[in-house]
Amino acid sequence: MTPSLPDSDASVVSRIERLEALFWAAVNIAPGEREKLLSVECPDEPDLQRELERMLAANQRAGAFLEIPLPEVLESELPRGSVARWKLLECVGEGGLGVVYRAECMEDDVKLEAAVKILRPGLDTGKFREKFVKERQILAGLDHPGIVRLMDCGADSYGRSFMIMEYIRGEPLNTYLKRVNPVVPQRLELFRFVCEAVSYLHSRLIIHGDIKPANVLVTPAGIPKLVDFGASSLLAANTMVRGELTQLMLTPQYASPEQMRGEGPSIPGDIYSLGRLLEEILSSAPKRSDVRYILERAMAERSAERYLSVSDLLEDLRRLQEGLPLRARPATAAYVLRRFLRRNWAVALLTTLLVMSLAGGWWRAERASRRASVAASEALRQHQSALAHERRALENEALAASSAREAALNAARLDALVDDLINDEGADPNIVGQPNEVAERSLRRAAASLETLSGPRRWRELSILWRRLAMLLAHRGEFTAAEAPLEKAQYAATQWFRAQPTPASQLNALIVKLCQLRFARQRGMTQTAYRLAREALADFRRLPAVMQTELNGTVWLENARLSIARELIDQNRPELVPALLTEVVWNSYSRKLTQTRDLAVTNLVWSFRRLNRLNDARHWCGVAIEWQVADLRMAQFCAEPLMAFTDRDPLFPVMPGALSDEGLQSILSRINQLIQDLHEDPRSFPLNLTLGRDYARLAEHYLATGQPDLARPAVRKAADIRDTLIAGDSKSPVVLNFKRRVDALEHQKPTAN
Amino acid sequence: MSSQPIPQADVENIYAELRKLAAIHLSRRAPKASLQPTALVNEAWLRLAQHPWKSRSHFLAMASTAMRNVLVDYVRSRLAAKRGGEWTRVSIDGGRGPEGMTFNLAQVLDVHEALQRLTQLDARKARVVEMRFFAGMDFDEIAEALNISVVTAKRDWQFSRAWLYDSLTS
């Protein structure tokens, strides 16, 4: 027989089930009846009775408790409130991961207006937060009339990350176009403004990554401004594959095909989006064939077929605006032209950057870069005809020469003229391609046979051959053996230049000088190297523009710039260094000379730091981190400017001794990261503690390696953090542990001396 | 099924999926773009349709746990961020109930913990609260997900709410 389950059988029916049964029995009856019910159902269980009574009361009082789902509660908190001292007025945009509000605040009786961007609730963690912080870092370093300005940033007491930006009283580009319906020239002008801003970004190695009409706000004065840098990134060193995060945030209509495939933001990607933008800007206008051509080039399916730079696009745009024929398609242009274009993108950007930084004016910079482009095109044309002329001359010469060997030699010489200019780091690809001894023998034989020639031509051939021999020997590390040929090369170069002061002889003399510079540096003759570098750069500036373009980014020339920079640094004259080094960074970046690039960027950070241009220092630190510049000094250089933002007492000495300890480097980079995080969130307890521990570890490392001078500031930092923590929470065992550790360090300091 | 523990790996999948969805959802500039959990869950359902979820309700059940994790993490990070500062008062009843109580943000965590205790006593009731409070599902969805009647879902909710209110106030 199966007995029915009695309610009071606690072994079978759980307490909560009984509670529930009683709850539903009691909930709809009068309070007086309830006592009766309880005395019948559970007379001997005062606990259960009490709990039920409490629950019935809770049921009465609970009101709307938990009735609004938590996400909605959290969401609804936001627009009503304020962020830091900014009062949020209205939502003006929702982009990427954040919401943008118009906001105001009072400062000294002046009402300030700004746009405040906040991460959405629930997203202010992890990767999303990292992206947001990155966006702020990118914006912080920018100063351009076509780009929204960052005024302030941080985290409020809710822990919400925010950034305060200039409030642009404008409307999105597409709305503006519909409302104003400007004529085509005005439309093109708007587009040109946007391109200028993007070009400025690219000159700082920043990719916007999400260019579209909604991200271009047009002010009442008709100035377009780029906003929303949520998808932007620093140009990565090699591949630019990034997380799925960016991809998810993209707007398919404007993102380039490769970006949609997940390849991440890139310069060609931005150019594609600009093409899309232009298409939209001109959507109502009939398309002339040259407009269609610009669109095709900007939006080519394969990124290699697009404009190489925004400057290139701007150049065609200018030609379109002025009714000039557009530039030739690279696919049909001559080899030289293609190569010129390939290199020119960096140079053209650089021109813009430098002129901008010198003159400080957008318009002037814009006009100057136009002039530079025109001059460069003109110089290219001249150079092409000069090359053709020279080739013809050499061919004639070769025909006239009796031996076939000489014909071959002459042809090789022509190639050498160009190929010398595209040396990779330390190597001469032309010569390296063949066995060294064979090359050396043939060069010596050729030089010997040339000694019999006469006139200026003889000097030219001799100079080139001796120089090549010297470079070959230098490449093999035989600097002593290279001296004699180099001297001969220099003598011949001087004779040639005297007889024929042409660009070719000028260039030859310069290359010889650059070889001498390399040798001088190799042998530690810094004064000589400095003198040679200065002379070489002066000679370089006298060359035709197109030859300058060819030479820029060669190891030899960039070494000259580095030599001068180094000398200026040694002389403690950092003010001239940034312009020089920016040039080196650009040239070496565009020619993929990694070592030169890293060396330059490291010193660039150093010089900005010395000049107290901390924003710039931070910017290039960011670039270096993105490029993963693996240099210990870099880690230290980066630490300081970042630290200088939290306080002005730099930890690291200006020129720390060479330290080669991976552990140290990891501590330093962790400190970097922590300081950055603390900058976001200055009151964070765990961050402070971690930072304090890292300083303690750093100090311990320095002490253990016998460097008390370096340890001292680290101990001081740790002690400061200890004091802060003790003041806040003196009882916590982790804090007390940390305190003991720092106390010990302080104690240890005098003995370590 | 409803009282079965959900495999951690699945929860993590959905957790990641929901975060992605949030990003997509928010970037669309929908007029009322917000972290609307139901919308997110629906999208997650569509996107994960090729996965071997037994049913929509199976999916919803897992998604709500993921939502809970997302939000508890968020609240924790908010609390951690303003450690030592003024604690924000967040009204968990939306400020509507006449006798509604106003919570510290920290008390969201208390609800979370109390809910873990409730899971020990009655897993289904705790799931109802999770789905409704943390994931914003309506009673029809909850009933379907847990394979119970709507009336039972509502009764579970009312009872659990009183139980939680009591355990948080007494």
pLDDT in tens, A113-155: 888 888 765 555 556 667 777 777 777 778 888 998 887 777 6
Query: Would you state the pLDDT for residue B1?
Result: 40
Length, in residues, of chain B: 170
Q: Helices in B28-122 by DSSP H: which ranges? A: 37-47, 56-81, 106-121
Long-range contacts of A378-382 (CB under 8 A, 24+ apart): A379/A544, A379/A545, A379/A546, A380/A336, A380/A337, A380/A340, A380/A546, A382/A544, A382/A546
Cβ of A157 within 8 Å of Cβ of B166? The answer is no
Amino acid at A476: R
Tell me how far apart the alpha carbons of residues A505 and A547 are, in angstroms, rounded to a whole number: 12
Contacts of A254 in chain B (CB under 8 A): none
Measuring CA to CA, which residue among A253, A238, A343 is closest to residue A591?
Answer: A343
Tell me how far apart the alpha carbons of residues A133 and A644 are, in angstroms, rounded to a whole number: 18
Query: Would you state the pLDDT for residue A15?
Result: 84
Tell me how far apart the alpha carbons of residues A485 and A482 are, in angstroms, rounded to a whole number: 6
Q: How far is B67 from chain A (nearest CA, A)?
A: 9
Query: Would you state the pLDDT for residue B126?
Result: 94
Sign of the CA dihedral with A434 first, then A439, A442, and A446 last: positive
Tell me how far apart the alpha carbons of residues A4 and A330 are, in angstroms, rounded to a whole number: 91
Task: State yes or no: pLDDT of A406 exceeds 80.
Answer: no
- ipTM of the prediction: 0.77
Choose the closest CB to A63 out of B20, B100, B133.
B100
Q: How many Cα neighbours within 13 Å face the side chain of A149?
A: 9
The answer to whether the beta carbons of residues B126 and B118 sit under 8 Å apart is: yes
Q: How far is B81 from chain A (nearest CA, A)?
A: 5
> How many helices and strands (H and E) does chain A possess?
31, 11
Query: Would you state the pLDDT for residue B42?
Result: 56
Query: Would you state the pLDDT for residue B158?
Result: 93
Residue A107 φ then ψ, to 5°: -140, 120
Which string of DSSP letters, residue by residue, matches A424-458? BTTB-HHHHTS-HHHHHHHHHHHHHHHTT--SHHH
| For testing contact with chain A, the best of B12, B15, B17, B19 (most A CBs within 10 A) | B19
Choose the closest CB to B81 out of A24, A73, A684.
A684
Average pLDDT score over residue span A660-679: 63
Choose the closest CB to A63 out of B23, B98, B166.
B98
Contacts of B37 in chain A (CB under 8 A): 69, 71
Measuring CA to CA, which residue among A376, A207, A3, A59 is closest to residue B158?
Answer: A59
Query: Would you state the pLDDT for residue A240?
Result: 35
Tell me how far apart the alpha carbons of residues A743 and A45 are, in angstroms, rounded to a whole number: 59
For residue A118, what are the β-bridge partners? A99, A162
A679-695: buried (b, 16+ CB within 10 Å) or exposed (e) per residue?
bbbebbbebbbbbbbbb
Percent of chain A with pLDDT over 90: 4
Q: How far is B17 from chain A (nearest CA, A)?
A: 12
Query: Would you state the pLDDT for residue A112?
Result: 82
Q: How far is A724 from chain B (nearest CA, A)?
A: 12
Query: Would you state the pLDDT for residue A117?
Result: 85
Average pLDDT, chain A: 70
Which string of DSSP letters, residue by residue, matches A268-289? HHHHHHHHHHHHHHTTTSPPPH
Q: Is B82 near chain A, with CB under 8 Å?
A: yes
Query: Would you state the pLDDT for residue B149?
Result: 94
Q: Is B72 near chain A, with CB under 8 Å?
A: no
For residue A110, what are the β-bridge partners? A107
For residue A116, what are the β-bridge partners? A101, A164
Q: Is B79 near chain A, with CB under 8 Å?
A: yes
Choose the closest CB to B108 out of A56, A70, A684.
A70
- Where residue A109 falls (left for φ over 0; alpha for ψ -120 to 50; beta otherwise) is left
Length, in residues, of chain A: 753
Reduced to 3 states (helix: H, G, I; strand: E, B; else coil), residue A104 is: strand
Cβ of B162 within 8 Å of Cβ of A23? The answer is yes
Contacts of A125 in chain B (CB under 8 A): 73-74, 77
Average pLDDT score over residue span A710-723: 83
Residue B142 φ then ψ, to 5°: -65, -45
Closest-approach residue (CA) in chain A for B33: A94
pLDDT band (50, 70, 90) for residue B112? very high
Average pLDDT score over residue span A711-719: 84
**Nearest-5° Cα angle at A12, A9 to A17:** 85
Highest mean pLDDT among A260-264, A293-297, A385-389, A585-589: A293-297
Query: Would you state the pLDDT for residue B118?
Result: 93
H-helix or E-strand spanning residue A679? helix A662-680
Tell me how far apart the alpha carbons of residues A722 and A97 are, in angstroms, rounded to a whole number: 37
Task: State yes or no: pLDDT of A744 exceeds 50.
Answer: yes
Task: State yes or no: pLDDT of A183 exceeds 70.
Answer: yes
Reduced to 3 states (helix: H, G, I; strand: E, B; else coil), residue A115 is: strand
Cβ of A16 within 8 Å of Cβ of B121? The answer is yes
pTM confidence score: 0.42
Contacts of B36 in chain A (CB under 8 A): 71-72
Task: State yes or no: pLDDT of A285 exceeds 70.
Answer: yes
pLDDT in tens, A209-229: 888 888 899 988 888 999 887
**Nearest-5° Cα angle at B159, B157 to B161:** 65
Tell me how far apart the alpha carbons of residues A303 and A271 are, in angstroms, rounded to a whole number: 9
Query: Would you state the pLDDT for residue A136?
Result: 78
Choose the closest CB to B100 out of A65, A251, A685.
A65
Residue A386 φ then ψ, to 5°: -65, -40
Q: What is the dihedral of CA A589, A591, A596, A599, to 10 degrees?
A: 0
Task: State yes or no: pLDDT of A554 exceeds 50.
Answer: yes
Choose the closest CB to B90 out of A51, A77, A728.
A77
Q: How far is A369 from chain B (nearest CA, A)?
A: 37
Cβ of B24 within 8 Å of Cβ of A248? The answer is yes
pLDDT band (50, 70, 90) for residue A400? very low
